[in-house]
Structure 1
Amino acid sequence: MRIILWVLGLGAMIGAIAEVFLRVKYGLGSPLLYVADTRTGYRLAPNQSLQRRGNRIEINQYSMRGATILPQRPAHSLRVLMVGDSILNGGWWTDQSELLSIKVQRSLETLHLADVRAVEVLNASANSWGPRHALGYVLRFGTFEAQVLVLMLNTDDLFAIAPNSYDLGRNPQYPTRRPPLALWESIARRRPYLPSPELQALHDQPGDRVGVNLEAIRQLNQIVQTAHSQLIVAITPLRRELADDGPHDYELVARQRLTDFAAAQSIPYLDFLPQFQQTHYERLYIDDIHLSDEGNVWVGQALASLIDQVWPQPADEPSPRPMDEPMTDLW
């Protein structure tokens, strides 16, 4: 009996040590939480502050990655609203101070823009968001009186499925509540995951997905124009697109459609594929999709330069309130 109690006590002590280690070292047990949204499908739950693997993550009252903001733009300021996927969001691997939006803000601040006392770059993003998610976010919350809205894409986003919340809380990457233990989260993230039939059906849905996403960008541009602001579209390539074989044929077709669309809509457009091809692109990535700190600096400087060229001066008219219904049902 003593041996059994001794083994149980040793097991409990090892478990407690492992629990503390996982919480302190990796931040497990306190994951970023998500909420369902009829516009965006899902978004980060508002008002979160935590650390994951030593990186600080802060989510404000509007599900942005950043500190609490006022919905109205401060006087004599330049406000930029960036909307996008995990490249913009930065995930657990990027500290709050090293986000792409912060790099853009710092680059803009060095330009000493005329009649601008402060620069504010907002970061509305979530993993796997595409153009329809971005449109849904602006329909939900508006433009926050930003003079410039930057839609940040990567090549995969041209093929993004419709916003949905089918696997929210089911997929360990999109939790809706905190696990009871860090050990619990560690085990859950290692279990095999299969999409629900509903989510798989969306992926298998036929039709012109690229065309639908371009239509979402067109509608987003209409909202931005109504708010007397300027839309910019920027797209980063996947790292494999920069290898000798280059993008796949279907990716080249989709990219050309976006290029032609931006020209037809007179939307300032920044394609980083040709720019990355002219440099040692390997150091700009941490994996096949996401940018390194150097990549964020590189892209941030290019975006700041374009924003400086195109941003309109503040208008007297207030920005419109979020729309009650989308102009065309893209969901």
Structure 2
Amino acid sequence: MRWIRYETLSDHKLANSHLSVLLEIGIIRLSLIILGVLFLLGLLLEAILRIVFGFGNPLIYKADAEIGYLLAPNQQTRRFSNFIAVNQYSMRSDPITPQRPPETTRIMLIGDSIANGSWWTDQKETISALITKSLGQNLTGSVQVLNASANSWGPRNQLAYLRRFGTFESQVIVLLMNTDDLFALAPSSAVVGREINYPARRPALALIELYDRYFKRYPPLSPVQEGGDRVGNNLTALAQIQALAQANQARLIIAITPLIREAQKQGRDYELKARQRLADLTSNQQIFYLDFLPIFQAHSNPDSLYRDNIHLSRDGNELISQKLTEAIKKVF
């Protein structure tokens, strides 16, 4: 009887041991299944972020000692279904030759994010593309409208770009700015690689960019200080751009768009004074000047021209391109 009892206890221990092993195997299998599902969900989310939203492939910026920064050359991406292409000269344009082709009208549009269109504007809907289409219907021969621009560029960034690359034998240079550009700081590369909108390299994963853009907290950058007369410094740069244009047998058009509050007739006194200084400069330098403030204020619905307080909607881009096309035809 004792021997039988011993065998029974051993059987119970063996059964419990087998049960524990099976339980551990089950837990491992379940964990692997969960990990596999999470991995597949991660792959699916990564694919959606890349294909639908364009995450993981942002436009890359390049620091520059004189220009401050510019879009890295020869890159393409698609952000929120909008195609963006940058050529060999950091322009949001197709590849070009330094010399103007025969029987071609070449215009250079230079500016900031309004001219560039950024991620929210498809390549075919940028102001430069709209001008190209409009001029092509009115001029003989081919038309090229080069788009040399980058987010937050001011007149001194633009002057440095023109000094570096030249005018590409453009017959007309259109400098498109907004009121804030009159107060722009001197060129600086401090934001490149340190601010989410100016990445210096692409992230390894779209998920990483999603986290960095919407969840990661960045330490604030030390504000760039510049004393003296900033408006005066930028007006001096505009005068130097005029001299550069004249030296290259090009006509200069300076166009300025208002902030949305200005279009709503809520502009500030210091902005009005800076704008008047710009108007005086263009008059003294005999520069073709196009002020969009009265045009926007006269519009039946000024708010419809904006996507935010500075940047323009599709309707705004179309209005700008229409008026710039008219101005370009006048200076020819």
Assess same fold via TM > 0.5.
Answer: yes
SS at match of 1:13: helix
Tell me, in whole angstroms, the C-alpha distance in 2 between the residues paired with 1:80 and 1:25: 34
The CA deviation at 1:196 is 2.5
1:196 aligns with 2:221: yes
2:257 alignment counterpart? 236
1:250 aligns with 2:270: yes
2:155 alignment counterpart? 131
Tell me, in whole angstroms, the C-alpha distance in 2 between the residues paired with 1:208 and 1:164: 18
The CA deviation at 1:45 is 0.5
Tell me, in whole angstroms, the C-alpha distance in 1 between the residues paired with 2:197 and 2:311: 16
Tell me, in whole angstroms, the C-alpha distance in 2 between the residues paired with 1:126 and 1:212: 20
Q: After superposition, give the CA deviation of every residue in 1:78-110 in whole Å (9 maximum; x if it has no partner).
A: 110011000010011111100001111222222
The CA deviation at 1:291 is 1.2
Q: After superposition, give the CA deviation of every residue in 1:176-206 in whole Å (9 maximum; x if it has no partner).
A: 1110000000010122334422xx1x2x322
1:282 alignment counterpart? 303
2:282 alignment counterpart? 262
The CA deviation at 1:228 is 0.9
Amino acid at match of 2:289: Y
1:273 alignment counterpart? 293
Amino acid at match of 1:7: I
Tell me, in whole angstroms, the C-alpha distance in 2 between the residues paired with 1:109 and 1:193: 46
Amino acid at match of 1:96: Q
1:185 alignment counterpart? 209
Q: Kindly indicate whether the alpha-carbon contact (under 8 Å) linking 1:39 and 1:139 is maintained by their aligned counterparts in 2.
A: no
Q: Kindly indicate whether the alpha-carbon contact (under 8 Å) linking 2:104 and 2:143 is maintained by their aligned counterparts in 1.
A: yes
1:148 aligns with 2:169: no
Where structure 1 has 5 or more consecutive residues not aligned to the other structure, the ranges are: 312-331
Amino acid at match of 1:214: L
2:314 alignment counterpart? 293
2:99 alignment counterpart? 72
SS at match of 1:122: strand
Tell me, in whole angstroms, the C-alpha distance in 2 between the residues paired with 1:103 and 1:193: 37
SS at match of 2:105: strand
1:3 alignment counterpart? 30
Tell me, in whole angstroms, the C-alpha distance in 1 between the residues paired with 2:124 and 2:307: 17
The TM-score normalised by the length of structure 1 is 0.89
Tell me, in whole angstroms, the C-alpha distance in 2 between the residues paired with 1:76 and 1:25: 40
Amino acid at match of 2:286: S
The CA deviation at 1:227 is 0.4
2:240 alignment counterpart? 219
SS at match of 1:51: strand
| One of 61, 70, 76 as aligned partner of 1:34 | 61
2:197 alignment counterpart? 173
Where structure 2 has 5 or more consecutive residues not aligned to the other structure, the ranges are: 1-27
Pair 1:223–1:195, CA change in 2 (3 A): farther
The CA deviation at 1:11 is 2.0
| One of 126, 141, 145 as aligned partner of 1:121 | 145
Q: Kindly indicate whether the alpha-carbon contact (under 8 Å) linking 1:167 and 1:195 is maintained by their aligned counterparts in 2.
A: no
Q: Kindly indicate whether the alpha-carbon contact (under 8 Å) linking 2:134 and 2:325 is maintained by their aligned counterparts in 1.
A: yes
Q: After superposition, give the CA deviation of every residue in 1:253-306 in whole Å (9 maximum; x if it has no partner).
A: 111110111111110000000011111212211111111112111111111111
SS at match of 1:87: helix
SS at match of 2:283: helix
The CA deviation at 1:212 is 0.3
1:82 aligns with 2:103: no
1:56 alignment counterpart? 83
1:95 alignment counterpart? 122
Q: After superposition, give the CA deviation of every residue in 1:192-246 in whole Å (9 maximum; x if it has no partner).
A: 334422xx1x2x32211000000010111111100011111000011121224x2
Q: Larger C-alpha radius of gyration, 1 or 2?
A: 2
Alignment length (residue pairs): 303
The TM-score normalised by the length of structure 2 is 0.89
The CA deviation at 1:30 is 0.5
SS at match of 1:289: coil
Which structure has more helix as a fraction of its residues?
A: 2
- Give percent identity, aligned residues only: 50
| One of 46, 51, 68 as aligned partner of 1:19 | 46
Q: Kindly indicate whether the alpha-carbon contact (under 8 Å) linking 1:86 and 1:128 is maintained by their aligned counterparts in 2.
A: yes
Tell me, in whole angstroms, the C-alpha distance in 1 between the residues paired with 2:220 and 2:153: 17
Tell me, in whole angstroms, the C-alpha distance in 2 between the residues paired with 1:129 and 1:255: 18
